[in-house]
Structure 1
Amino acid sequence: MPPRREDPEIARLVSEQILAALPNIVSQVAAGLNANQANNQGTTANRDCTYKGFRACNPKEFHGTEGAVGLLTWIEGMESVLHISKCAEGRKVEFAACLLQGRALTWWNTQIQTRGREATNGLTWEEFKKLLKEEYCPRSEIQKLEAELWNHEMKESDVDSYTARFHELAKLVPHLVSPEENRIDRYVWGLAPEIRGNVTSANPKTLQDAVNLATKLTNNAIRSGSFANDKVKGKRRMEEPVRRNYSERGGKAQKMIRNFGVQSQTGEKGKGTYPKCGKCNYHHSGRCIICFRCNKGGHFAKDCKIGGSRTCHECGSPNHFRITCPKLN
């Protein structure tokens, strides 16, 4: 069969009809896509903003007895829960207020009686936080935290403890370290003098950069012994075993000397390292001991066993004293 020839006029009419219908087709397809997207968003929003989903994140309760630090910590944790649960702005206060217990719940019920339930639940999150801080954060407590942050310094080479406490205080009183430049400056100011200059010279752009640099410099300074206190501690740690061993050796030597002395003193009577005395025939040092009773050496008259009470110390006669001895008179 010969090929069929298309009529140019028919092809032209078909093309015009397609072009005329194309905008309507595109509009219908776009409308369908938008409707599906809106339905999906509405379903997701309804699912994420329920109270059940909020409680599934395990938010903590607040009783009103935790003090200023406890309240600030609770607010910080609550904001994390509200973010994770994707809670709508208009439901934040209503959901968070359900976690108030004890004294805090009594205070909140008073607010409801005064303002009305709609007005209290309609408060913004910032207004709700302000009311809580006015009630449970006395100015004196905030001033203590501000003073601690202002005077917070690194102790010796313990950069980890310094950094951890700095983060805690910065969260409790953020107005002292805002904006980010002030936060970095305050952190660097409290570092140990051994590393502060190097961190300042590096001009860190973020707080994390400053923390990483301070940790690295501290570790290097510890290894090189740049920290004066660590030098002293290291020296003491090195000297303690030496001193202990020396004391042990000295104690043993002294014990040997003492034992040797005891043995020398308890040896055979009259013998030793001293020369023999010509008067008493005993080995001793210093003046010779002569008994005035028996005129012999080696003992005193009170220890003499020869003669009675009337013994003459001059001639040894028991019949008279030395003062009446015929040899002297």
Structure 2
Amino acid sequence: MAIVTGGESASCLTEEMKATISEEVGKALEASLPQFIDRLQTTLLSIMDDKMNKMSDRDTGKSKVCPYNKFMACKPPIYNGEVDPIVCQRWISDIEGVFERTHCDETDFMAYGTGQLRGQAKDWWDNLRKEHRIKATRMMMWEKFKTPPLRYYSPKAMINRIKEEFIQLRHSGESIEKITGILLDKLMFCTKLVQTEEHKIYYHYNMLSAEYREFITPSKYGHLTEIVNAAREREIELKKQIERGERRVFDINPSPAKKPKPNETPKKGIAKGGVPRCRICGKTHKGECYFKNKPCPTCGKVRHVVANCP
């Protein structure tokens, strides 16, 4: 008969516990192993996707999606709902410039752009969202969004007035920089009237005062920038003449409120200095009128400018 001592009993119990623990741990590992492998696989795939996207972006030159804080750091313009076609068009143009500079994704244009609406413009947008349902406006693309505000804040009557002002625009003392800026602002709404660079040059030349036009030949220039630079050079020369005392200030900045002397009877069609007023362009100049054989962009006929077009 074998006698089991206390030490041997404890040793057998320890071995049994180790076997039991080992078996339970094995079962636990076996049960959790698929989940662990799935998580590991997901993590590895995510890392690989990031690597591939970075390589693809580097190869294609594609930039990362622009976060909102980066967009706001460029100080995008705010639109308050001014009923002015020029202000509305400039806001759209300026905010699209921010989209381009920040490499903003097209899917963010609407959220970022409409976030810059304030006052009446914000009220108008909120009302439009209710009419078309919020879900539908969220899916609206920026190109489709631009039409409603341009139509709402650019009444046809105001656009027609801008076109008339564009045709009748005349240089009367402003700097070349300012008068050219006014011309370009109004030009945005006269695309049907001005379709070529020649037309732009024609209107820029036609608005200049005599002190500029007599030293500028429009046919020499092929681009609007060229005639603008020529006018700037002439402006600098006129200022130098004033500094040298060769010309008085009011010669290049005539006062529109200047009244004739009580006993002076101005002759019709005769300007100061005896130079007759041209019947074609309506301005005073010497020699043959540049617009004599120039077709009018509006009707196509000659011997008159757009301002006098019947």
Q: TM-score range by the shorter chain?
A: 0.5 to 0.7
TM-score (norm 2): 0.53
Distance 1:232 1:99 in 2: 41
Deviations 1:141-197 (A, max 9, x none): 222222222111111585344223223333565565444333222112211234325
Distance 1:226 1:87 in 2: 53
Amino acid at match of 2:105: A
Corresponding residue of 1:211: 228
Distance 1:117 1:42 in 2: 35
Corresponding residue of 1:45: 63
SS in 2 for 1:113: helix
> For residues 166-315 of structure 1, what are the structure 2 equivalents within 5 Å?
166-171=183-188, 176-196=193-213, 198-220=215-237, 223=241, 230=251
Structure 1: where are the runs of 5+ without partners? Answer: 1-32, 234-329
Q: Residues 138, 228 of structure 1: CA spacing in aligned structure 2 closer, same or farther, 3 A cutoff?
A: same
Q: Residues 80, 178 of structure 1: CA spacing in aligned structure 2 closer, same or farther, 3 A cutoff?
A: farther
> For residues 85-124 of structure 1, what are the structure 2 equivalents within 5 Å?
85-124=102-141
Q: Residues 121, 227 of structure 1: CA spacing in aligned structure 2 closer, same or farther, 3 A cutoff?
A: farther
Distance 2:176 2:248 in 1: 12
Instruction: Report if aligned partners of 2:218, 2:227 keep a CA contact under 8 Å in 1.
Output: no
Q: In terms of Rg, which structure is larger?
A: 1
Corresponding residue of 2:149: 132
Distance 2:88 2:207 in 1: 27
SS in 1 for 2:63: helix
Distance 2:53 2:106 in 1: 24
Amino acid at match of 1:70: V
Structure 2: where are the runs of 5+ without partners? Answer: 1-50, 255-310
* CA shift for structure 1 position 230: 1.5
Instruction: Report if aligned partners of 1:64, 1:104 keep a CA contact under 8 Å in 2.
Output: yes
SS in 1 for 2:204: helix
Q: Residues 60, 36 of structure 1: CA spacing in aligned structure 2 closer, same or farther, 3 A cutoff?
A: closer
SS in 2 for 1:199: coil
Distance 1:199 1:56 in 2: 44
Instruction: Report if aligned partners of 2:84, 2:153 keep a CA contact under 8 Å in 1.
Output: yes
Distance 1:155 1:109 in 2: 44
Corresponding residue of 1:270: none
* CA shift for structure 1 position 127: 2.4
SS in 2 for 1:104: helix
SS in 2 for 1:46: coil
Deviations 1:289-328 (A, max 9, x none): xxxxxxxxxxxxxxxxxxxxxxxxxxxxxxxxxxxxxxxx
- Equivalent residue for 2:76, pick from 50, 59, 78: 59
Amino acid at match of 1:180: E
| Percent identity of equivalent pairs | 22
Distance 1:144 1:231 in 2: 28
Distance 1:126 1:232 in 2: 44
Distance 1:232 1:60 in 2: 35
SS in 2 for 1:45: coil
Corresponding residue of 2:163: 146
Amino acid at match of 2:156: R
Corresponding residue of 1:81: 98
Deviations 1:54-112 (A, max 9, x none): 11211122222454443233223212212211222332223211112232223222322
Q: Residues 98, 35 of structure 1: CA spacing in aligned structure 2 closer, same or farther, 3 A cutoff?
A: closer
Distance 1:56 1:41 in 2: 27
Distance 2:253 2:60 in 1: 67
SS in 2 for 1:153: coil
Corresponding residue of 1:264: none
TM-score (norm 1): 0.50
SS in 1 for 2:217: helix
